[in-house]
Amino acid sequence: MPNLMCIHCFVSGKVQGVWFRAATRDEANKLGVTGWARNLPDGRVEVMACGEKEKVMQIQAWLNKGPELAKVMDLYAEEIPWHEYQGFKVM
């Protein structure tokens, strides 16, 4: 699967209570990216995103700014082995 990839991300800043996960799901659905997003107890949002390399890179760039009310201070993203997800879930 040379054109497919997954990234595991941690987004920090003002990213909880600002519709970050729902907006991430909407963006992922627009791009055809699968995976999930969840809040962490330390205030970060964790995101798993899988799909075509170009689309995953687009969602990574989007995560770096997030939705309008968010203030992203840092984005850590690493490529991980491919995993098949059904749709994009908010957890």
Q: Tell me: the pLDDT tens digits for 1-41?
A: 679 999 999 999 999 999 999 999 999 999 999 999 999 99
Degrees to nearest 5, angle at CA 17 with 14 and 22? 105
pLDDT score recorded for residue 1: 60
Residue pair 91/19 in contact (Cβ under 8 Å)? The answer is no
In this model, does residue 56 exceed pLDDT 90?
yes
Please, which residues have CB within 8 angstroms of residue 13's CB and are 6 or more apart in sequence?
A: 66, 70, 71, 72, 73, 74
Tell me the C-alpha distance between 74 and 11, whole Å: 6
**Is 39 assigned a catalytic role?**
yes
Average pLDDT value for residue range 33-57: 98
pTM, rounded to two decimals: 0.96
- Catalytic site residue from 3, 21, 25, 29: 21
Domains of the chain: 4-90 (3.30.70.100)
Nearest 10 degrees: CA dihedral of 47, 2, 32, 42? 0
The catalytically annotated residue of 3, 29, 39, 64 is 39
